[in-house]
């Protein structure tokens, strides 16, 4: 679809414990304590440096960031490693966050952590599709597009080769390391815990809000250190990015960061806009090409 965009190179990083990044051999399991946001950011910096080296340390490279969910959080946390990025002369010209902000409701993180530890396996991709539909509707809001679930069943699974040896093992499994990912979800070593209405909105917006969302894991300190224009995608039915947090982000960009901020909200969409159709991709390219 985007073959004409030959001036872009996409670097899609498998964070430890996701995708193909983590060994299945029980003898090679990584300790849960390594599943932290700081470790993820160290790995990202290493990869970005490798990319730079492969391009002959070209200082004219333009860097952009597309961060879906945790990918956006990691970009915020990278502000704590500004010295390392400065040393490599890596600066992001523009950012895109996909349905994520600097405050994540604690109740939703706890809810996600409950089901990521389940050893979920399937006989067929159709079974996986039905499972993903159940999980996503229950936890992330409605999706009008049934293709979304088929997309998840196609790209969100691993084929377990051990099933070839043992007929009792179902061949398809969810593509992440369960316990390690849970440890990463609950990692608050680089963030804090704040009450959205009582501690944040009153201070930032000057309005005393009635408690609705309550306690959140906060990366607000890191968010305020961003130094690039931000395009935000927001699923209107998202439980991980409430409208109050969207309003807060716009306010911080306007009064503190003082750079361009734009939010595009998507109807009938929870967490996250899936980024697999042209109308979802084009605004991202248009945003980046402004900078």
Is the Cβ–Cβ distance between 80 and 109 less than 8 Å? no
How would you list the strands of the sheet with 63-68, edge to edge? Answer: 63-68, 92-98, 230-235, 261-266
What pLDDT, on a 0 to 100 scale, did the predictor assign at position 206? 55
Q: pLDDT of 155-174, one tens digit each?
A: 888 887 777 677 777 888 88
Percent of the chain with pLDDT over 70: 90
What pLDDT, on a 0 to 100 scale, did the predictor assign at position 27? 52
Which range marks the domain in which residue 74 is found? 26-289
pLDDT at 247 over 60: yes
Task: Supply 168's token pair.
Answer: 């009792």
211 occurs within a structural domain = yes
What pLDDT, on a 0 to 100 scale, did the predictor assign at position 28? 61
Percent of the chain with pLDDT over 90: 41
| Three-class secondary structure of residue 14 per DSSP | coil
10 occurs within a structural domain = no
pLDDT at 3 over 80: no
Q: What are phi and psi of 120, to 5 degrees?
A: -95, 120
CA 252, CA 247: separation in Å to the nearest integer?
9
β 215-218/192-195 pair status: antiparallel
7 occurs within a structural domain = no
* Residue of higher predicted confidence among 5 and 120: 120
Task: Return the minimum-mean-pLDDT range out of 15-29, 51-65, 95-109, 174-188.
Answer: 15-29
What pLDDT, on a 0 to 100 scale, did the predictor assign at position 2? 42
Q: pLDDT of 31-49, one tens digit each?
A: 777 889 999 999 999 999 9
Task: Supply 206's token pair.
Answer: 């000057």
Side-chain-facing half-sphere of 141: CA atoms under 13 Å = 20
What pLDDT, on a 0 to 100 scale, did the predictor assign at position 1? 37
248 occurs within a structural domain = yes
Q: pLDDT of 187-204, one tens digit each?
A: 878 888 888 888 887 766
16 occurs within a structural domain = no
What pLDDT, on a 0 to 100 scale, did the predictor assign at position 73? 96
13 occurs within a structural domain = no
15 occurs within a structural domain = no
β 92-98/230-235 pair status: parallel
Task: Return the minimum-mean-pLDDT range out of 11-15, 136-140, 240-244.
Answer: 136-140
pLDDT at 149 over 50: yes
Q: pLDDT of 53-66, one tens digit each?
A: 988 887 788 999 99
C-alpha 147 chain-centroid distance: 21
Arithmetic mean of pLDDT over the chain: 85
pLDDT at 29 over 90: no
Supply the CATH number for residue 87's domain: 3.40.50.1820
Residue with token string 């809000």: 209
pLDDT at 25 over 80: no
**SS percent in the chain: helix, strand, coil, step 5:** 45, 15, 40
Task: Supply 40's token pair.
Answer: 């993820």
CA 132, CA 245: separation in Å to the nearest integer?
26
132 occurs within a structural domain = yes
Give the count of domains, the chain.
1
């Amino acid at each position: 679809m985007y073959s004409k965009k030959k001036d872009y190179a996409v670097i899609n990083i498998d964070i430890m414990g996701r995708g193909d990044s983590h060994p299945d051999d029980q003898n090679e399991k990584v300790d849960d304590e390594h599943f932290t946001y700081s470790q993820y950011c160290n790995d990202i910096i290493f990869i970005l440096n490798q990319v730079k080296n492969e391009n002959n340390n070209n200082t004219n490279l333009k860097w952009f960031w597309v961060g879906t969910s945790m990918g956006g959080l990691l970009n915020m946390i990278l502000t704590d490693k500004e010295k390392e990025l400065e040393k490599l002369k890596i600066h992001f010209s523009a950012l895109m966050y996909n349905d994520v902000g600097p405050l994540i409701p604690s109740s939703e993180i706890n809810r996600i952590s409950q089901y990521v530890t389940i050893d979920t396996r399937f006989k067929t991709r159709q079974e996986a599709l039905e499972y993903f539909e159940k999980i996503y509707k229950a936890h992330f809001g409605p999706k009008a597009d049934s293709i979304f679930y088929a997309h998840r069943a196609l790209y969100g699974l691993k084929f377990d080769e051990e099933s070839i040896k043992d007929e009792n093992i179902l061949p398809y499994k969810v593509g992440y390391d369960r316990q390690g990912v849970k440890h990463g979800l609950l990692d608050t070593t680089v963030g804090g815990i704040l009450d959205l209405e009582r501690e944040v909105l009153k201070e930032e917006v000057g309005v005393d809000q009635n408690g609705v969302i309550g306690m959140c894991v906060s990366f607000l300190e890191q968010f305020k250190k961003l130094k690039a224009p931000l395009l935000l995608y927001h699923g209107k039915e998202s439980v991980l990015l409430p409208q109050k947090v969207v309003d807060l982000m716009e306010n911080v960009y306007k009064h503190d960061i003082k750079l361009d901020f734009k939010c595009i909200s998507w109807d009938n969409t929870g967490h996250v806009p899936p980024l697999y159709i042209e109308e979802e991709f084009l605004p991202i390219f248009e945003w980046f090409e402004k900078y």
